C-alpha cells in the first residue's frame, strides 16, 4: 500500500489539535471565547482548591482525605497501616504531588512546578519495603515523572530557571529498574504486585489483569528512549506480544490471567475495568513509537470490540471464546472509549456512546460506577463515584474533533455537578452513594492528574498550540517525536486535511484499513464511496443488489460482514 494511503487518522487529529488556532485572532473568531475563559478559571480554582488542601493536610503522603483533612498512603499496601506502624524510612511517595506535575505545567504555574521538582529530587526514595501494584505505580508515578521530565526540559515551557538537572529522569530510571524483576516469569507477563526493595515476594499471587500487564508500554517505552536503556521497553513489549498471542479466534481477550502458566482465569471481558487501557495503549503506543505491529493489533482488537461488544450506543461484556454476551452493564471506566474512538476517526460512533454516558450522568448528577443496562437500574453495591475523569476526557476529545459547542455545555454541567456535590472545605470528596450523595473521605490523585486537566483543556487548550502530545491513561502528556519512531508516518500538511491524495487505492476497503478518516468527520472527504465509520465497507452496488457474498460489504455500526440473501440483496441476514 502506498504511503499516501497509509495515513494514520489519529496522528492527523493530534496535529489538527496542535495547529488549529491563529493566536492573534482566536478570541475574535471564537464566539464562545468569553464562556471558555470563565469556565477555565472556574476549573483552575477547582484544581488549586484540591491541590492546596492536599499540600496542607496530606503531603508528602499519597492522597488527601478531604472530610477529615488527613491523608492515606493508597499506592501500596502500606495504606492499610496506621501512621505509627509505617516503616521508619517511609515518608510517603507524594503521589498526588507527582500526579499534579503535568497539570501545574499546563496551568503555567512555574513556581509550584519548580518547587515540586526540587522537593522530589531531594526527598523521594524508592528504596522502601513496600508492596506496590505494578500497573498503578507505572501509570501514576513512572508516568508522572517521565512526563514532567520532558516538560521540564522543553525550553518553550520555561518551567524551570536553569536549575533542572534531570533529577526526575534519575528517579524514573531507578523506579523502572525496580519494576524489572516483576517480568521474570516463564511467560514474560509481569506479576501484578512487587516489593520495591526486595522484588517479587515468596508466594506472591500470580493473577493479574489484561490492562495490568498490557498497559505498560507508553511509560516504560518512553523511559527507554530517554535513558538509552532498552530493557524497559523490551520487557513491556514482550509482555504485550505474549498477551496478544493469548487472544481467541475472535480476536478477543479475557479479563484476568495467570502470569506463570499463561492461562486465562476470567474469560468474560469488555471495554471497562481490567482491560480498558490495553486497547488504549495499542493505539497510543503506535502513535508514540511508530510500530506497525501495534497498529495491526489495535485494528484487529477494535473491530472485534465493535462486532462482539457493541449493542447500539452501548457496550456489554462477552465471552472471549464465543462472543456471546455475558453482562449487560455500563461501567464508569467505559466512558474513556468515545475519546479513543475520536483518535481513530470514528467520531459518529463516539458521539453516540458519549451522549448515553452523559444521559446517565444527568440522571444521577454524576456517573455511577456500575449501571445495569438490561434492568435500567443501579448496581446494588457499586453505586459510588470516585471523581473519575473518563467522561470529561471523552468530552475534551469530541470537542476538539467537532468544535460543537454542545460539548462545552457538557463540560460546564460536569464542572457544576462536581462543585455542587463533591466540593468540601478540605478539597473534593468522592461520592459513596449516588442516590443519596453521601460522601466518602477520599480525594484520588487522578482528580488532580486527569479530571481537572481534561476539563481545563476543554475550555483552554492553549497548551496544545503547535505541540503534538499523546496522553497516557493517567492523563500525563508525552510528545510525539520523530526520533522515537521506528518509521514515522508521512507528515500531515494542511493541504492534506480535507482530501486524500488521488493515488490508486484499493476499492471497497474500510477507512481503518486505508488509514483515512470516514466521510463527514472533521471535513474529511474521500474520493470514492462514502465511509460511514472506520470499519464500514460499502456494498458493491448502491442499490444493495448482489449475486454473491463478495458483492456485500461490512456494516458501519456492528462491523459485521453483510451477506447476500436468496432474493439477491445484501444485509445482516445471518444475525437475524
- Active site residues per annotation: 136, 276, 369, 390
DSSP string, 311-339: ETTEE--EETTT--B---EEEGGGGGHHH
DSSP 294: H
Q: Are 351 and 359 in contact (CB under 8 A)?
A: no
Specify binding-site residues for Ca(2+): 473
Q: Are 256 and 236 in contact (CB under 8 A)?
A: no
Specify binding-site residues: 473
Grid coordinates given for 411: 463540560
Question: Cα dist. 66→72, 78, 322, 396, 561 in Å?
Answer: 11, 19, 46, 27, 52
Q: Smallest Cα–Cα separation from 269: which of 252, 281, 246, 282?
A: 252
What residues have CB less than 8 Å from 94, skipping those under 6 apart? 59, 60, 61, 62, 119, 120, 123, 124
Q: Are 216 and 135 in contact (CB under 8 A)?
A: yes
DSSP string, 173-223: HHHHHHHGGGG-SSSSPPPSEEETTTBSPTT---EEEHHHHHS-HHHHHHH
Q: Are 475 and 390 in contact (CB under 8 A)?
A: no
Q: Smallest Cα–Cα separation from 255: which of 193, 314, 207?
A: 207
Helices 110-123 and 143-153: crossing angle in degrees, nearest 10, is 120
DSSP 491: P
What residues have CB less than 8 Å from 45, skipping those under 6 apart? none
Amino acid at each position: 500500500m502506498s504511503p499516501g494511503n497509509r495515513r494514520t487518522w489519529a496522528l492527523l487529529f493530534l496535529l489538527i489539535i496542535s495547529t488549529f488556532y491563529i493566536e492573534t485572532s482566536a478570541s475574535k473568531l471564537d464566539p464562545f471565547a468569553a464562556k471558555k475563559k470563565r469556565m477555565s478559571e472556574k476549573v483552575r480554582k477547582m484544581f488549586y482548591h484540591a491541590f492546596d488542601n492536599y499540600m496542607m493536610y496530606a503531603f508528602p503522603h499519597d492522597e488527601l482525605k478531604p472530610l477529615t483533612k488527613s491523608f492515606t498512603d493508597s499506592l501500596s499496601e502500606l495504606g492499610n497501616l496506621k501512621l505509627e506502624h509505617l516503616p521508619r524510612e517511609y515518608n510517603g511517595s507524594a503521589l498526588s504531588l507527582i500526579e499534579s506535575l503535568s497539570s501545574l505545567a499546563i496551568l503555567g504555574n512555574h513556581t509550584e512546578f519548580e518547587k515540586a521538582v526540587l522537593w522530589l529530587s531531594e526527598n523521594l526514595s524508592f528504596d522502601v519495603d513496600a508492596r506496590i501494584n505494578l500497573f498503578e505505580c507505572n501509570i501514576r508515578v513512572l508516568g508522572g515523572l517521565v512526563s514532567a521530565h520532558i516538560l521540564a526540559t522543553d525550553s518553550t515551557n520555561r518551567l524551570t530557571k536553569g536549575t533542572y538537572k534531570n533529577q526526575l529522569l534519575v528517579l524514573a530510571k531507578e523506579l523502572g529498574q525496580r519494576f524489572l524483576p516483576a517480568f521474570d516469569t516463564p511467560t514474560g507477563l509481569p506479576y501484578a504486585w512487587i516489593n520495591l526493595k526486595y522484588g517479587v515476594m515468596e508466594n506472591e499471587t500470580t493473577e493479574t489483569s489484561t490492562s495490568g500487564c498490557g498497559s505498560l508500554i507508553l511509560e516504560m517505552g518512553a523511559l527507554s528512549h530517554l535513558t538509552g536503556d532498552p530493557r524497559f521497553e523490551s520487557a513491556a513489549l514482550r509482555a504485550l506480544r505474549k498477551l496478544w498471542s493469548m487472544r481467541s479466534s475472535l480476536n478477543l481477550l479475557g479479563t484476568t490471567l495467570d502470569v506463570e502458566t499463561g492461562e486465562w482465569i476470567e474469560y468474560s471481558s469488555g471495554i471497562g475495568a481490567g482491560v480498558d487501557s490495553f486497547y488504549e495503549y495499542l493505539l497510543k503506543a503506535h502513535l508514540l513509537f511508530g510500530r506497525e505491529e501495534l497498529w495491526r493489533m489495535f485494528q484487529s482488537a477494535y473491530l472485534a470490540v465493535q462486532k462482539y461488544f457493541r449493542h447500539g450506543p452501548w457496550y456489554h461484556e462477552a465471552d472471549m471464546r464465543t462472543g456471546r454476551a455475558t453482562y449487560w452493564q455500563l461501567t464508569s471506566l467505559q466512558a474513556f472509549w468515545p475519546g479513543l474512538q475520536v483518535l481513530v476517526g470514528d467520531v459518529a460512533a463516539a458521539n453516540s456512546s458519549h451522549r448515553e454516558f452523559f444521559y446517565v450522568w444527568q440522571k444521577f448528577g454524576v456517573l455511577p460506577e456500575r449501571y445495569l443496562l438490561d434492568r435500567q437500574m443501579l448496581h446494588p453495591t457499586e453505586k459510588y463515584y470516585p471523581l473519575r475523569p473518563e467522561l470529561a476526557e471523552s468530552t475534551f476529545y469530541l470537542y476538539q474533533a467537532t468544535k460543537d459547542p454542545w460539548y462545552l455545555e457538557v463540560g460546564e454541567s460536569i464542572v457544576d455537578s462536581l462543585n455542587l456535590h463533591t466540593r468540601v472545605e478540605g478539597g473534593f470528596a468522592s461520592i459513596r452513594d449516588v442516590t443519596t450523595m453521601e460522601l466518602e473521605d477520599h480525594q484520588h490523585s487522578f482528580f488532580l492528574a486527569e479530571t481537572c486537566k481534561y476539563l481545563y483543556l476543554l475550555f483552554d487548550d492553549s497548551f496544545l498550540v503547535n505541540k503534538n502530545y499523546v496522553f497516557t491513561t493517567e492523563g500525563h502528556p508525552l510528545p510525539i517525536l520523530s526520533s522515537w519512531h521506528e518509521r514515522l508516518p508521512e507528515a500531515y500538511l494542511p493541504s492534506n486535511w480535507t482530501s486524500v491524495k488521488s493515488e490508486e487505492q484499493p476499492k471497497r476497503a474500510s477507512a481503518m484499513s486505508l488509514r483515512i478518516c470516514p466521510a463527514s468527520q472533521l471535513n474529511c472527504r474521500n474520493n470514492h464511496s462514502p465511509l460511514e465509520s472506520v470499519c464500514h465497507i460499502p456494498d458493491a452496488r448502491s442499490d444493495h443488489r448482489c449475486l454473491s457474498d463478495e458483492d456485500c460489504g461490512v456494516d458501519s455500526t456492528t462491523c459485521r460482514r453483510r451477506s447476500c440473501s436468496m432474493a439477491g440483496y445484501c444485509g445482516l441476514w445471518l444475525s437475524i
